[in-house]
Structure 1
Amino acid sequence: MTAGVRIRELHEMREFADLYRLFDGIWHPEPGNPPVTLELMKVFSHAGGYVAGAYAGEELVGGSVGILAKDRTLHSHVTGAVIGKGVGPALKAHQREWALARGLTRITWTFDPLVRRNARFNLVKLGARPEEYLCSFYGVMADAINAGDESDRLLAVWRLTEAAGPYSLEGAVTGLAERDGLPVTQRAEGPVVLVATPGDIETLRRADPGAGRAWRMATREVLGGLMANGAQVTGFTDRGEYVLKVSES
């Protein structure tokens, strides 16, 4: 309601077709490569999964598709919305209510670790925490947003019945810094490691694909490497850095 939209579950093929067109307008995928097909929306909805649309009046301005997963979890496969209208947060709030009403305790989804605004929303606003770094998770993606880049993702876990604790910067060292728009890796030897993100990776990828790839590989090496060795992401700073608590073992 705070976003001026109403959100409801979708069940009819005409509603799925509207959502398909909305997603197409956001990602502009190549033919045969949509984020989700009409048939899968129908299957997910019929099988008890989550397919919802956000409406401003009669206009569909956002939507989300998710599946039931193990460990009392809703996995949010794809969520898209008109930018700048607060629809994304409203959809997440609806997902949370939907999941809790069905006895679920977690919502998971993947996101690009280089997209700073998404990381801030997921970690700071919602209190989700990345629990796995997934290299090239979707393989080659042929759409206007991701084309030409590796599809590395973080698996965000939003624990609905637990509050995310505060993070500490005591003893923090920088493992990945930003200098003149480029990533700079540094020795990451400390109890807390900071991993920087680019200011706007989507614009950077278009303007300088080489710089975008440099960020991808550096983030995979530092953030992915730390998480693979047991480090936990505990927060995200105002400067756009992941905060990782390093395992003592």
Structure 2
Amino acid sequence: MFEVRELREIAEFERVDALFETIWRFGPAAPPVTVELMRALTHAGGYAAGAFDGDRLVGASVGFLAAGAALHSHVTGTIAPGAGHALKLHQRRWAGEHGLERVTWTYDPLVRRNAHFNLAKLGARPVAYLPDFYGVMADAINRGDESDRLLTEWPVGGSPAPAPERADAVVALADEGGRPVPGPVDADTVLVAVPADIERLRGADPGAAKSWRHAVRDVLGGLMAEGRAVTGFRGRTYYVVERA
């Protein structure tokens, strides 16, 4: 059980900075948020919270108010199982207490565990595919990869019901031997696979990682650009995409 609380002091933000460096190993690259920016954001009414296991900081999240009555969670990092879930619940509660309607964030669509957590566990839903959103990133986890992101919304008042599994769903992008293989996209419900471990693949086979990046961008991004809706994440492998 974690205690999640808002952070307001410079010393607390310095602990968050050290935690994020442990997770992403930015080195000389710029971190996504600095101690000074955390101080400014919270002073202006933004969000910073930490998840604690006793006195140990095991997770933190920093966000800001966004258009459309939303709290936008800019960066969240954790080093303990369950801390991310505790932080997300705190974000939604904080947003409701401040009269907001939703929590939004972006994540890498190729990371299976994040897709499962965001869509299957939380019930959030992607609303836009953002190609190379941050440009090429230089931290140890993302180094050299293009930074495609899914903009995701989570309503404060409750999550949408999960879409029922349809037996007639067609695989629009398959994982065959670790490589992406496109299929038909003209069915009412299609499934879009992502690789088993994109973070390992970046180091072991950069060419395959790049192939996955562009294949998911073309298929999933293309379907969303047509107005189709991502309604779930099936079997820890496939995005479920349906005609609106």
TM range (shorter): over 0.9
- How many angstroms apart in 2 are the aligned matches of 1:150 and 1:19? 26
Deviations 1:177-222 (A, max 9, x none): 0100110011211111110011111111111111111100100000
| Contact 2:172 2:182 (8 Å CA) reproduced | yes
**TM-score using structure 2 length:** 0.96
Q: Give secondary structure in 2 for the equivalent of 1:133.
A: strand
1:191 and 2:183 equivalent? Answer: no
Q: What is the match of residue 222 of structure 1?
A: 219
1:133 and 2:129 equivalent? Answer: yes
Q: Give secondary structure in 2 for the equivalent of 1:144.
A: coil
- How many angstroms apart in 1 are the aligned matches of 2:159 and 2:17? 34
CA-based RMSD: 1.1
Q: Which residues of 2 match residues 29-178 of structure 1 at below 5 A?
A: 29-83=26-80, 85-168=81-164, 169-178=166-175
- How many angstroms apart in 1 are the aligned matches of 2:83 and 2:98? 23
| Contact 1:175 1:222 (8 Å CA) reproduced | yes
- How many angstroms apart in 1 are the aligned matches of 2:31 and 2:211? 27
Q: Give secondary structure in 2 for the equivalent of 1:98.
A: helix
Q: Cα distance, 1:229 vs. partner?
A: 0.8
Q: Cα distance, 1:106 vs. partner?
A: 0.3
Q: Cα distance, 1:148 vs. partner?
A: 1.2
- How many angstroms apart in 2 are the aligned matches of 1:29 and 1:222? 31
**TM-score using structure 1 length:** 0.95
Deviations 1:129-161 (A, max 9, x none): 000000000011110010111100001100121
Q: Give secondary structure in 2 for the equivalent of 1:227.
A: helix
Quote the sequence identity (%): 57
Q: What is the match of residue 22 of structure 2?
A: 25
- How many angstroms apart in 1 are the aligned matches of 2:147 and 2:68? 26
Q: What is the match of residue 179 of structure 2?
A: 182
Unaligned runs of 5+ in 2: none
Deviations 1:94-147 (A, max 9, x none): 111111111111000000000000000000111000000000000111100101
- How many angstroms apart in 2 are the aligned matches of 1:24 and 1:239? 28
In the alignment of these two chains, the number of paired residues is 243
Q: What is the match of residue 13 of structure 1?
A: 10
Q: Give secondary structure in 2 for the equivalent of 1:60.
A: strand
Unaligned runs of 5+ in 1: none
| Contact 2:179 2:212 (8 Å CA) reproduced | yes
